Amino acid sequence: MKSYTINAPQQIDATIELPASKSISNRALIIYALSHGGILPKNLSDCDDTEVIIAALKNSPDIIDIKAAGTAMRFMTAFLSSTLGSHTITGTERMQHRPIKILVDALKSLGANISYIKEDGFPPLHITGKQLTGGHLQIPGNISSQYISALLMIGPILKQGLELELSGEIVSRPYINMTLKIMAYFGAEAQWESENIIKVSPKPYINKAYLVENDWSGSSYWYEIMALCKDDQAKIHLTGLFRNSLQGDSVIQDIFAKLGVRTVFEESSTDATTTVTLTKTPYHLESFTYDFTKCPDLAQTVVVTCCELGIKFHFTGLASLKIKETDRIEALKIELRKLGFILHDEHDDTLIWNGDRCEASMAPIDTYEDHRMAMAFAPTCFVHKNLLMNNPQVVSKSYPHFWDDLRQANFLIKQN
């Protein structure tokens, strides 16, 4: 088992080329394939999640192994159901215990031919693709936005298009809107008809050039680094971000403004990529309440940061964390206890720290096959010298060069 010992630099002045957004890359790739190829999107993410989609679309094997890529499982299930061919789609042991029944039932109601190979409700799946009828479909609005996006993206190639009604609370509207905007760029007619109904016309995609912006989710770890570092003159320059981003996680700049990090955009004459500079700024926050419903991927970063800054918190909107790469709520409780923090959870969607402390064991941080656990805990080396971390290579899922970027910023990282 690989492990790292991580130590922080005394000063930071770094320029970091963030990875491309995997959320946008994966959507653009599916739409590229549904538009029958042509111009491949530029600046695609080089992470595991995107590479398994590229391999599946390029090679179209009988058995498609998407490994630990949840996005790929959801998007490819809808794609394979609506395009000709017969395939089995599978993944890691953890992936085979991540639920997919809601998406499968929705696709079956549209006419899809899908069967479970092992346990009902979970991958692996056998899919025989065909043109689907489409029409009206109702699903809960509080499910993963990836289910909703998977259905929306195949809408333009359905015979009757798709009218998708989302019942109850809609929890990931920014990701849904991201999908709709990318679809519209490629010529689809897809928009909200009302507060809870999205209509997609049966109008084919038009393939054209597309530039993927860099990843605001990946920037969050550099915000955490800025918040936790001791250098009042620190500067971090993050390239390739969009000021008017499609990504809901761009809200990270507003969250960390409360935690002592200032964001400055370099002026740009076009509505394209620019450089963001992070610096330290005074803050006076003693407790923090926030609803992460619209940005659950930022939760781990903010939870760890607040603990290390001594800021009590009451965070809600975390239900989806239970079914990510790991149960992220439980993982945060276990790993932060190693650093001396006692967290409490409620209702499967709330995480609380009221200031309770315990003696820190400083046992190695475990990463649970979860890229965001590794990246959220790495900056704690500013507070805890010689931080030990097991299985640090999991960052390849979304940010393969994360450790190289830390070294570039003068972090000392030793492989044990």
CA distances from 76 to 30, 40, 64, 209, 402 (A): 8, 17, 9, 22, 27
Q: Which of 320, 363, 321, 316 is nearest to 339 (CA)?
A: 363
In sequence order, the 6+-apart residues with CB closer than 8 A to the CB of 288 are 258, 259, 302, 306, 311, 312, 313, 314, 315
The answer to whether 297 is a known catalytic residue is: yes
Q: State how far the Cα of 238 lies from the Cα of 217, in Å rounded to an integer.
A: 12
**Annotated binding residue 172:** yes
**Annotated binding residue 397:** yes
Q: State how far the Cα of 95 lies from the Cα of 309, in Å rounded to an integer.
A: 34
Secondary structure (3-state) at 341: strand
Q: Where are the alpha helices (DSSP H) in 90-248?
A: 101-109, 145-154, 173-185, 216-228
**Annotated binding residue 203:** no
Q: State how far the Cα of 117 lies from the Cα of 122, in Å rounded to an integer.
A: 9
**Annotated binding residue 187:** no
Catalytic residue among 297, 349, 366, 405: 297
Q: Which of 99, 157, 150, 107 is nearest to 127 (CA)?
A: 107
**Annotated binding residue 159:** no
Q: How far is CA 87 from the centre of its chain?
A: 26
**Annotated binding residue 98:** yes
Q: Which of 155, 156, 140, 152 is nearest to 102 (CA)?
A: 140
Residue 308 phi, psi dihedral angles, 5° rounding? -70, -25
**Annotated binding residue 74:** no
**Annotated binding residue 243:** no
**Annotated binding residue 145:** yes
**Residues 367, 392: contact at Cβ < 8 Å?**
yes
The length of the chain, given as a count of residues: 416
**Annotated binding residue 58:** no
**Annotated binding residue 268:** no
**Annotated binding residue 328:** yes
Burial class (CB in 10 A: 0-12, 13-18, 19+), 254: exposed
- Cα end-to-end span (Å), the chain: 9
**Annotated binding residue 22:** yes
Q: State how far the Cα of 123 lies from the Cα of 88, in Å rounded to an integer.
A: 9
**Annotated binding residue 297:** yes
Residues in binding site for phosphoenolpyruvate: 22, 70, 98, 146, 328, 372, 397
Catalogue the active-site residues: 297
Residues in binding site for 3-phosphoshikimate: 22-23, 27, 144-146, 172, 297, 324
Residues in binding site: 22-23, 27, 70, 98, 144-146, 172, 297, 324, 328, 372, 397
